[in-house]
Amino acid sequence: MEGTVDGFRYGAVTPVAAYLMACLGGALGLRCIVRSLLNDQSWKPGWLALGAASIGSGIWTMHFIAMIGFQVEETRIRYDASLTVLSLAVAIAVVGIGVFIVGYRGAGTGNLALAGTVTGLGVAAMHYLGMYAMRLNGEINYDALTVTLSIVIAVVAASAALWAAVTIRGFLASLGASLVMGVAVSGMHYTAMAAVSVHVHGTSGSSWAGDSPSSLLLPMLLGPIIFLVLAGVVVMFDPLLVLGDGDWNRGTAHRRSAAARVEEPPAPRHSSVFDTPPAPVRARQHPYEASQRTGEW
């Protein structure tokens, strides 16, 4: 028999919370990528890795918060713990590949297309791997056309996010880009969930392997959420990201010029060997002293 699928068990609570987590992960990831590009002396691999982990954790957290609101009325749903953790690792690793491609090879059209495709496919793989971790008394089927559309949305969203990361510098602009990214990621998720139909084997209430959402998902979500909060603290207290590119450069230039005025000796008036140095200033002499040297009075 066909199961009754409901993706909004708790109304707007899970979609809104999932969207906010996607925005948070996207905002932190974009700012970390921007940080690696603003200053060549910064530790680029560290900032890119932090950005990839933030985006991947945000997408993964968004997915499973939304899945808390998913139910099939005729059967209980549980999750395989190992596959759930693997989906998080896949999200971070594949997003990291795309981020490092753009961070080191630049934002050319070819690089963005490659990085966006890899990242989008990784986001889709994370989603469907998380769906594969579901255990229920039935069989999950997918509509091929809707699945394809969800993958296209994931690739486009990832490409747009990476483009924004290497193009947009201002804080407000990055914030707006993260809000759009949250819409795209949420749209990809719910488009993919629209492709789902469940054929229930029966209503006998038999048990199967796995943990319930309340005993597995909620504790597992705490780790990525705490990580995102800590990443947010790192980003908030970094002076380059707080001041912005222009303000940082102006502040740095001002400090350098002040230090130069204090430490460096005054430069000579003539700056080239072809310039004529100023004539030395002679002391004013009494007429009698001058006459003693010339023999005249």
Residue 37 has pLDDT above 60, yes or no: yes
Most confident listed range (53-67, 159-173, 193-207): 53-67
What pLDDT sits at residue 73? 82
Domain boundaries, the chain: 15-247
Q: Which amino acid is at 6?
A: D
Residue 175 has pLDDT above 80, yes or no: no
Query: What's the rounded mean pLDDT across residues 172-196?
Result: 85
**Distance, CA of 57 to CA of 55 (rounded, Å):** 6
Query: What's the rounded mean pLDDT across residues 155-177?
Result: 77
What pLDDT sits at residue 149? 93
Residues 91, 118 contacting (CB under 8 angstroms): no
The torsion defined by the Cα of 170, 235, 14 and 136, in degrees rounded to 10, comes to 120
Predicted structure pTM score: 0.73
Residue 34 has pLDDT above 50, yes or no: yes
Contact partners, residue 219, CB within 8 Å, separation at least 6: none
**Distance, CA of 52 to CA of 130 (rounded, Å):** 19
Residue 176 has pLDDT above 50, yes or no: yes
Ordered alpha helix ranges (H), the chain:
13-38, 44-68, 81-105, 109-132, 144-167, 171-194, 213-236, 239-243, 245-263, 287-294
**Distance, CA of 225 to CA of 95 (rounded, Å):** 18
- In the chain, pLDDT over 90 holds for what percent of residues? 10
DSSP 92-120: HHHHHHHHHHHHHH-S-HHHHHHHHHHHH
What pLDDT sits at residue 143? 92
Beta bridge partners of 12: none
Higher pLDDT, 242 or 228: 228
Residues 3, 198 contacting (CB under 8 angstroms): yes
Letter string b/e over residues 146-178, b meaning 16 or more CB atoms within 10 A of that residue's CB: ebebbbebbbebbbbbbbbbbebeeeeebeebb
Residue 197, phi then psi, degrees to nearest 5: -135, 150
Query: What's the rounded mean pLDDT across residues 128-146?
Result: 89
pLDDT tens by residue, 40-84: 666 788 888 988 898 889 999 999 899 888 888 888 888 888 888
- Positive or negative: CA dihedral 131, 135, 136, 142: positive
pLDDT tens by residue, 248-279: 344 444 444 444 444 444 444 444 333 445 55
Higher pLDDT, 216 or 244: 216
Higher pLDDT, 39 or 16: 16
Query: What's the rounded mean pLDDT across residues 14-31?
Result: 88
Contact partners, residue 13, CB within 8 Å, separation at least 6: 69
